[in-house]
Structure 1
Amino acid sequence: MANPLKLVSAQPKGMPGVVASAVYAGGRRVLEIPIEEAGEWSRKPGHVVWIGLHEPGLDLLRRVQAEFGLHELAIEDALKAHQRPKIEQYGDALFVVARTAQMVEGRIAFGETHLFVGRGYVVSVRHGASTTYTPVRERCEAAPKALSEGEDFILYAILDFIVDNYMPVIETIQEEVEEIEDSILTANQPQNQIVRLYQLRRDLLRLRNAAVPLVEVCRRLEQPGMPGVDAAMQPLFRDVSDHIRRVQEEIESLREVLAFAFESSLMTGQSQQNEITRKLAAWAAILAVPTAVAGIYGMNFDVLPELHWKYGYPFVLTIIVLTCTWLYWRFRRKQWL
């Protein structure tokens, strides 16, 4: 008699939306299964079905819903993919929403992951900018003893992976912020640098709004009585909470640095404008002297004192040069020129 665990039911090739669909027993992958067999396998003692979906359509979600009896509201949330990070309990099943983030062309791109967790199954639904969870699956399969804990360990592994992926985003921004700090007091500061500072600060605010609500999600998973979460797994979710708080601290620190850099940029720009204004005012004062003298002698009067004097013209030119030179010296001394 053939061992039923050796019978492989082939996954349909090119099925849109399905990244992986496998059943595990004792922490080891048993076989790949189609969606239509997932519910049957999840009800077998000691087996866990792990399905990964990427931007599925309504038809595929309905098929998954039929296999596991997922709640209608959770299906609607998973289809819309514009949800705030949260955890909802529907009977003996959990619905978790987490926001993902990664750098795309210098900006933080956000995505969503929706997790359906119940006795004997985990379904992950990815939308938008999100790294594939294949590394998570491979890491779990490499540790069969931990994976044998079941669906709550898979939930922990995915949440931990999401939170860990926040750090490369923060580190990339941190490197750019350090470069901006080095050039913040340069004489010729480009306008696009100020715009970039504002963009980074706004992106970090969105990242904080995506990460911080996960603290509440993990806090609820730490509490006793959550369906599908064993007491032995609760410290792992507490560890994820610690990682999120670290991410929050890094974000707040970077936002303070960016705020200082933004203010410094504005102050530097204002200082440069004031310096240009002083220079223009100083040169205007210097040029006012010959302009005034030339204006006086340009009037049609015949009784000007030096008009018929032999040395009147050189005398006036000398007065103009001396006055302008004195003004130039005074402005230079006051650092207006």
Structure 2
Amino acid sequence: MAERNNPAAGGNGHSGGRSRTWTAPVRAMTRIIGADGSPPPTPARDVVRSAVVDCALYVDGVRQEGRQDYASALAAAREQPNAFVWLGLHEPSEAEMAPIAEAYGLHELAVEDAVKAEQRPKLERFNDVVFLVCRTARYLEHGRLTEHSEVVETGQVLMFIGPAFVITVRHGNASRLSPVRTDLEARQELLAQGPWAVAYAVSDRIVDHYIEVADGIEDDLDALEEDVFSRAGTSSIQSIYQLKRELVEFRRAVVPFQRPLLTLTSDASRGTVPKEIRRYFRDVQDHLSRTIEQVTGNDDLLNSILQARLAQVSVDQNNDMRKIASWAAIATVWTAAAGIYGMNFDFMPELKWRYSYPILIMLLVITSGTLYRLFRRNGWL
């Protein structure tokens, strides 16, 4: 009897069958959470791969087949003429950037800027590697403009341009670079110009987004201006100021980018930027200049709208004060009469007369009506 109920004895009783039924799940749970109840160890993963969006080797403007490791791709590019590597990263951490910086020989200061992504647009040179910082922007569709509306989303794209490679580091979702890669791969003659062709294409896409944002803000300004100067204008100062803040954020992204482009298109960039690519950069600079002019005009117009709205608020407050003063003057007539006859003097004119009360009320009504018409005619009521 004891042997049948003992699971270790291998009996066929009910108790032994129930023990076997629960043994497999218990062993599975033990493997999942560990014998001591601790969570299972996390399998090691390649931290660099988590930041790499795409890595490709290009020879004469043609992408080579297969997905290569960034180190082996760079070695292959240095062994072939007219070849380079385009490595795309998205929001890498310090641990993810360290091996890439070591493999490509990137300066530690530039790597720190690429990780933190809190830089103004600038152009720096570290030996034979050029470091270009761009601010990206995207227009956010929204309904009615309020004091909490987000109109512009900004981010950053940082580029390391070397003799045989270009590394693009993107922060935020304001300007995705996968369409740029697709378009460039369809233009082999331009891509054959090397890493600076990628720098041009990325800059051109960023400036194109600037134009879209500027057009969107201009549409918001038109709607805001129409609402402010309408008879039933409901735009609050808070909503206008919110758009002002969004425009300032956008301006901080656009205006400083003009200096790096001027450097890339100047004679000082000879020997670094190919002559043909400098022509393309001049086109980007022209588009950027027009966008800056548009942003400046929008800023001036928004300031005018804000001042006009403040003036309207002041006028409305003055109108309210005049209305209050008018009604107070009308009420003063009744208060004065009540104050005089409330003194209870023994000798007051018409105090014992039968018609004194209705005549007094009639005089007060006539006086109040006369004052009302006067205030109404002068625009106080």
With the length of structure 2 as denominator, give the TM-score of the two structures: 0.81
Once the two structures are TM-superposed, the CA of residue 66 in structure 1 deviates from its matched residue by 2.2
Matches of 2:96 and 2:47 in 1, distance apart?
Answer: 15
Identify the residue that residue 283 of structure 1 maps to in structure 2: 327
Q: Percent identity?
A: 38
Matches of 1:13 and 1:275 in 2, distance apart?
Answer: 67
Once the two structures are TM-superposed, the CA of residue 243 in structure 1 deviates from its matched residue by 1.1
Aligned-partner SS, 1:112: strand
Aligned-partner SS, 1:70: coil
Amino acid at match of 1:61: M
Aligned-partner SS, 1:171: helix
Identify the residue that residue 5 of structure 1 maps to in structure 2: none
Q: Does 1:37 find its partner at 2:72? A: yes
Aligned-partner SS, 1:15: helix
Higher gyration radius (CA): 2
Amino acid at match of 1:30: Q
- Matched ranges for 1:288-307 at <5 A: 288-307=332-351
Matches of 1:282 and 1:219 in 2, distance apart?
Answer: 64
Identify the residue that residue 114 of structure 2 maps to in structure 1: 78
Matches of 2:174 and 2:379 in 1, distance apart?
Answer: 55
Matches of 1:223 and 1:291 in 2, distance apart?
Answer: 81
Amino acid at match of 1:27: G
Q: Does 1:311 find its partner at 2:355? A: yes
With the length of structure 1 as denominator, give the TM-score of the two structures: 0.91
Unaligned runs of 5+ in 1: 1-11
Identify the residue that residue 8 of structure 1 maps to in structure 2: none
Once the two structures are TM-superposed, the CA of residue 244 in structure 1 deviates from its matched residue by 1.1
Matches of 1:185 and 1:296 in 2, distance apart?
Answer: 49
Relative distance call for 1:68 and 1:15 in structure 2 (3 A) is closer
CA contact (8 A) 1:83 1:97 kept: yes
Identify the residue that residue 108 of structure 1 maps to in structure 2: 152
Question: After superposition, what is the alpha-carbon deviation per residue over 1:144-178, rounded to whole angstroms, capped at 9, x for unaligned?
Answer: 11111111111100011111111121122111111
1:184 aligned to which of 228, 234, 242 = 228
User: How many residues get paired?
Assistant: 325
- Matched ranges for 1:316-327 at <5 A: 316-327=360-371
CA contact (8 A) 2:74 2:84 kept: no
Once the two structures are TM-superposed, the CA of residue 45 in structure 1 deviates from its matched residue by 1.4
Q: Does 1:95 find its partner at 2:131? A: yes
- Matched ranges for 1:166-315 at <5 A: 166-187=210-231, 189-190=233-234, 193-224=236-267, 226=269, 228-315=272-359
Identify the residue that residue 56 of structure 2 maps to in structure 1: 22
CA contact (8 A) 2:48 2:97 kept: no
Matches of 1:13 and 1:70 in 2, distance apart?
Answer: 19
Once the two structures are TM-superposed, the CA of residue 223 in structure 1 deviates from its matched residue by 3.0
Relative distance call for 1:97 and 1:14 in structure 2 (3 A) is closer
Matches of 2:231 and 2:243 in 1, distance apart?
Answer: 22
Q: Does 1:147 find its partner at 2:191? A: yes
